[in-house]
Structure 1
Amino acid sequence: MVAVADVGVVVRPRVPRGPSTGSLTRWIVLLLVGAYFLIPLYAAAAFAMETPDGGVSADVFAGIPSQEGFADAFGLSVNLALVTIVITLALMIPTAVYVHLRLPRVQRLFEGITLLPIVIPPVVLIVGVLQVAPGSLKGTPYLLALEYAVLAMPFAYRSLDSGLRALSLKTLVEASTSLGGGWFTTLFRVLLPNLRSAVLSATILTIALVLGEYTMASLDQYETFPVWMVVFSQDDAHVSVAVSLLSLVVVWLLLLGISLIDRRRGRTTTGEP
């Protein structure tokens, strides 16, 4: 007779482990990057809120709208941003879609072409534009909007290119065509809703560029928002620094809004609450 011994299973309690080396390194890198960005902003805010008697006051931010020339300069930059957005999206969306759909072999070449505004100095661009621009545009700020559209091309195309690479572009276009949709119907009712995050990213990057570009505006002799900040800093550096901080906060809030919209869209697509 063979005796079979009972085999006991020993269950060991789990011992909580400390943070792994990778997690600790990640937190260290995040803290260093955060300090790299936040310390200069803190120094700028402290300088802007410093009062002549050595105290601290936030009244400088409340007095920004009443500064001389601020309303006109900011209004001009906002109008230029709107016109630049319309021109940039109207040119880049159909072009990017067509290149991805019909000319996939020239994508690398087109990416190189869109990088030229970054490689060529703005001074060279503005001199060339002034030589070939018609006289009816030279006396209007719309010429500056066309120049901004050229500068925004690399950023807008990268955003749209990332959005198009995440889509099954041929499948969507073929499905729309099989249902009787034309080119404009496919573009506006099928592709654009799926490119919402990419279009918003291109829009915000264009706004940030227009609100921060100085060289072309100064050479064109227009007092835009960045030009006003440089000129006004000669009279009151505290207000100029405060305006710069507010512009950074506005751009960050817009980018945060894009991320929230994209996250909400992803949850709606996957059916998550």
Structure 2
Amino acid sequence: MADFSTRNLLAGGRTLQAWRNLVEDDALYASIVVSLSLAVLTVVVMLVLLLPTMIWVRLRAPWAKGAVEFLCLLPLTIPALVIVVGLRNVYLWVTYFLGESALTLTFVYVIVVLPFAYRALDGALSSIDLRTLSEAGRSLGAGWGTTITRVVVPNIWAGILSAAFISIAVVLGEYTIASLSGYQTLQVQIVAIGKTDGPTSVAASLAVLLFGFVLLLGLSLVGGRGRRRAGAGAVPVAAGGKP
């Protein structure tokens, strides 16, 4: 891919024009911005919805764990085409209230990444004594918000990073839903450009792959440091933020 994207197909030799097109081509650059924005929004919404829910279920409603797991893993069994068709009527209201921005795909992508995020967070929560940590924090006067952000999160930081990075990779690589919905995300634009400019299309694909490798490397480094830090210094805190 690196060889092909730097090859001058007309005059011979080497050129970096295909890589310059990633920022010089207005349509491609706009699709990159849209996909990165979708990735960030998807991660934020997914964590805000899923993490407190999983903690609450483990502490207050363990009987609902099976139902939550089933709902979170259900998108794996539903083809993307069915998801688009099933949400068509719902999205008429979404576009009515929020407009026809591609960022509204965030709601669909949160559903798509749920199975992967759930497994990462579930493994992280299973590795700690959640009940003891939360009760210790609450007994010192910490509210639920402080308990989650200052006690639980530092102990499952690696799992949160894993869920976030996997979600980013899924969003950046998703094509079917965006294409059927008529939005110009990165993958949709890569396919469109590939019909007329092969080197630029391959350069964009390689850039996405390299970005994924960087995320995996960052997960390995930051996750390992987070686990060591959590093991050494994570302590319950009182409501005022003091140990």
Unaligned runs of 5+ in 1: 1-43
CA distance in 2, matches of 1:150, 1:106: 19
CA distance in 2, matches of 1:232, 1:127: 26
- 3-state SS of 1:258 partner: helix
- TM-aligned CA deviation for residue 226 of structure 1: 0.8
CA distance in 1, matches of 2:228, 2:120: 21
Tell me the equivalent position of 1:258: 219
Contact 2:175 2:187 in 1 (8 A): yes
Unaligned runs of 5+ in 2: 233-243
Contact 1:233 1:239 in 2 (8 A): yes
1:128/1:77 Cα in 2 relative to 1: closer, same or farther (>3 Å)? same
1:157/1:54 Cα in 2 relative to 1: closer, same or farther (>3 Å)? same
Tell me the equivalent position of 2:52: 94
TM-score (norm 1): 0.77
Which structure has the larger Rg over C-alpha atoms?
1
Q: How does 1:104-253 map to 2 (within 5 A)?
A: 104-133=62-91, 134=93, 135-137=96-98, 139-253=100-214
RMSD of the TM alignment (CA)? 2.0
Tell me the equivalent position of 1:11: none
Kindly indicate whether residue 3 of structure 2 is the aligned counterpart of residue 49 of structure 1. Answer: no
Deviations 1:183-227 (A, max 9, x none): 112111111122221111111112111111111111221111111
CA distance in 1, matches of 2:99, 2:85: 12
TM-score (norm 2): 0.85
- Structure of greater relative contact order (alpha carbons < 8 Å, 6+ residues apart): 2
CA distance in 1, matches of 2:179, 2:115: 22
**Percent identity over paired residues:** 38
CA distance in 2, matches of 1:213, 1:98: 31
CA distance in 1, matches of 2:211, 2:136: 40
Tell me the equivalent position of 2:237: none
CA distance in 2, matches of 1:186, 1:117: 31
Kindly indicate whether residue 26 of structure 2 is the aligned counterpart of residue 65 of structure 1. Answer: no
What residue identity is the alignment partner of 1:155? F
1:269/1:99 Cα in 2 relative to 1: closer, same or farther (>3 Å)? closer
CA distance in 1, matches of 2:175, 2:7: 27
